[in-house]
Amino acid sequence: MSQESVLVVGSIAFDDLEMPQGTFEDVLGGAATYSALAASVLAPVRVVGVVGDDFPARHLDLLRARGVDTEGVERVPGKTFRWRGRYSQDLSSRVSLDTQLNVFADFRPKIPASYRGSPYVLLANIHPGLQLDVVRQIERPRLIAADTMNFWISGEAQALAELLRKVDLLIINDEEARELSGMQNLCKAAVDIRKRGPSQLIVKRGEHGALLFDPHGTFFVPAYPLEEVNDPTGAGDSFAGGLMGYLARCHGAPPSPHTMRRAMFYGAAMGSFGVEAVGTKRISELNLDQLARRIESFRSLVDFGGSLSVD
Ligand code: AMP
């Protein structure tokens, strides 16, 4: 299997998490951080983003120790992006209490020359204008995937509409799909969103799995059932990183329909690791053997043996 690299751009953050088990502050987070750590289990990763002078060197060391190239991470005077969220008692929902863009407010990504030919590009969650800046600087990759969230769907609709015309795959959650399309029914929402640009759409549904809508039909992957869920933050970003890492690991051509479907399992498996511990801890310790084992249990979870038809 050849290994190609994944370019990830997105937020690198401090998260303050109000959880039923307590409040955790200054937790290393951000969409790019989760996605890069997840993808790095499977493929070489390059990150583009910005941090302030309050960002500890050990966090960038951690990324590098996982094989993530951080040449594209700028450090500038000011404060690092900060997000504060509060989770419900059962962790099934959350509200964003505060989003401080800080150094991201004036950031213009500069893609290092060595990154421009990256075949797999993940525009993780950040201002869609910055995601577009990245698209303008790269050479035509095999696949451009993008994530976004309600904050940008409601606040930056025009930039997001332009971005959608430039991406192959959009990865969002069910609430975001409904908000973006204005439609309650997810199948109808998918038709609407795919007309706006991305030929492929993944709708993540938390503990209810994820749906892929593409020109070959609709595909579903369940969420891996876990006894212990500690922090759902970044599950979506870990999903996206796992999916892109898998595509990069096994590909020398645009992903086939079956490869995309298999990649959904890698995304779901990675998401399941992400929620086991608070912050990026579990993802940043994960190795390929552990991932392979979870993929195998995933297989048995959905393998019913024999045929489903009746005589
Ligand atoms: P997820 O749980 O997958 O939606 O991702 C959570 C991560 O997204 C957290 O680590 C936050 O730092 C980051 N985040 C929250 N709001 C935003 C935003 N508006 N733009 C970019 N990243 C964000």
Find where tokens 């790019």 sit. Answer: 32
151 C-beta closer than 6 A to ligand 1: yes
Cα 233 from Cα 262, distance rounded (Å): 24
- pLDDT string in tens for the chain (311-residue length): 457 999 999 999 999 999 999 999 999 999 999 999 999 999 999 999 999 999 999 999 999 999 999 999 999 999 999 999 999 999 988 999 999 999 999 999 999 999 999 999 999 999 999 999 999 999 989 999 999 999 999 999 999 999 999 999 999 999 999 999 999 999 999 999 999 999 999 999 999 999 999 999 999 999 999 998 999 999 999 999 999 999 999 876 777 889 999 999 999 999 999 999 999 999 999 999 999 999 999 999 988 888 888 87
CA of residue 5 to ligand 1 center, whole Å: 23
15 C-beta closer than 6 A to ligand 1: yes
Find where tokens 């966090």 sit. Answer: 59
Cα 263 from Cα 254, distance rounded (Å): 13
pLDDT at 166: 97
Dihedral, CA of residue 96, residue 100, residue 105 and residue 111, to nearest 10 = -70
Distance between alpha carbon 233 and the CA centroid of its chain, in Å?
11
Find where tokens 């190795």 sit. Answer: 287
Find where tokens 């976004």 sit. Answer: 148
206 C-beta closer than 6 A to ligand 1: no
pLDDT tens-digit readout, 111-123: 999 999 999 999 9
pLDDT tens-digit readout, 179-222: 999 999 999 999 999 999 999 999 999 999 999 999 999 999 99
Amino acid identity of 107? F
Instruction: Specify the residue with its C-alpha closest to ligand 1, atom 1.
Output: 234
Buried b or exposed e, range 187-226, using 16+ CB within 10 angstroms: eebbebbbebbbebbbbbbbbebbbbbbeeeebebebbee
Instruction: Specify the residue with its C-alpha closest to ligand 1, atom 9.
Output: 30
Instruction: Specify the residue with its C-alpha closest to ligand 1, atom 20.
Output: 126
Closest ligand 1 atom to 127 CA: 20
CA of residue 38 to ligand 1 center, whole Å: 15
230: left (phi over 0), alpha (psi -120 to 50) or beta: alpha
Pairing of the two strands 210-214 and 217-221 = antiparallel
pLDDT tens-digit readout, 212-245: 999 999 999 999 999 989 999 999 999 999 999 9
pLDDT at 302: 86
pLDDT at 252: 63
